Amino acid sequence: MNQEMNQENMNQGNTKQGVTQVINGTECIENSKGYWVPVSTLKPLDLMRDEFVREKFKVLLVLSAQIKAVKDSLFEDIAAFVSVSAAEYGVSIGGKKGNVTLSTFDGRYQIQRQMADVISFDERIQAAKALIDECLRDWTADAGPEIKAFVDKTFEVDKEGNISTARVLSLRRINITDARWVNAMQAIGDSLQCTGTKPYVRAKIRDESGNYQHVSLDIASV
């Protein structure tokens, strides 16, 4: 059915399956392509799945908001504590930058604030890739395509259009003396840019062996 039908024939309603529209007297629900499908044509299992996912997603959204609130509060509280600590020595600092580790008196619990640089490459990374490709054309004339596939994978961009810095920088650990390769590694180094910092909070607890273990704050690893 067409979404552009006369508005006088359409009414919106909410069901456990989400937003529905009554179109020409028929209750419809939107599918993944944006078309309105009569609810009566769907299998009961499809409706049950839709309701199940929506209900559980509500719980996850609430949890996500709670985690964000706790994270924001932690950063503010840590910054405030750093400022208070510095004031003991007559120093006034912002308190929001730099790595900080705070421990309980017995050393059992630790909270760490870490600031990680966000690294990316500028346009010179393309020059590095061209130089490496030139090397490969000479080196792999009689070899299989595996090494070419490895390099292509190294320079592959993600869905945001970013190249993995870890994968590219790993090439610099390969000891190759070919002047073109050396030049490519120089281009990689020159193309590195620090575009900002990303703050992290980590919690650790000391186990019976005296080693600190991370308290997982990642829902996927709990």
- The neighbour count for residue 157, using CB atoms within 10 Å, is 9
User: What pLDDT was estimated at residue 96?
Assistant: 66
Same-domain check for residues 29 and 136? no
| One domain for residues 3 and 35 | yes
Q: Report the pLDDT value the prediction gives residue 10, as an integer from 0 to 100.
A: 38
Residues 75 and 126 in one domain: no
Q: What is the pLDDT of residue 102?
A: 95
Predicted local distance difference test score (pLDDT) of residue 37 = 92
Same domain, 144 and 160: yes
Question: Tens-of-pLDDT digits for all 222 residues of the chain?
Answer: 444 444 433 344 444 566 788 999 999 999 888 899 999 999 999 999 999 999 999 999 999 999 999 999 999 999 999 999 988 888 877 656 788 999 999 999 999 998 888 888 899 989 998 988 888 787 766 555 666 777 778 888 777 777 888 888 888 888 888 899 899 999 999 999 888 888 888 999 999 999 999 998 877 766
* Residue 13 and residue 35 in one domain: yes
Q: Is the domain of 65 the same as that of 37?
A: no
- Residues 97 and 37 grouped into a single domain: no
Together in a domain, 96 and 148: no
The rounded distance, in Å, linking the Cα atoms of 18 and 189 is 51
| Model pLDDT, residue 8 | 36
The continuous run of DSSP H or E covering 37 comes out as: strand 36-38
Domain tally, the chain: 3
Q: Which residues pair with 115 in a beta bridge?
A: 199
Residues 93 and 192 in one domain: no
Residue 166 lies in a domain: yes
In a domain, 4, yes or no: yes
Looking at the structure, tell me whether residues 140 and 111 fall in a common domain.
no
Let me know whether 124 and 176 are in one domain.
yes
In a domain, 48, yes or no: no
Enclosing H/E stretch for 115: strand 109-121
Any long-range contacts for 18-26 (C-beta under 8 Å, 24+ apart)?
18/50, 18/54, 26/1
In a domain, 109, yes or no: yes
> Is residue 49 in some structural domain?
no
Residue 47 lies in a domain: no
Is 208 part of any domain? Answer: yes
- The answer to whether residue 50 is domain-embedded is no
Residues 20 and 124 in one domain: no
Q: Please list the residues that pair with 112 across neighbouring strands.
A: 101, 202
What is the domain extent for residue 147? Answer: 119-196
How far is CA 211 from each of CA 102, 113, 118, 203, rounded to the nearest angstrom? 16, 19, 29, 13
Give the pLDDT of residue 18: 65
Dist. CA 22–CA 129, nearest whole Å: 56
Question: Which DSSP letter does residue 222 get?
Answer: -
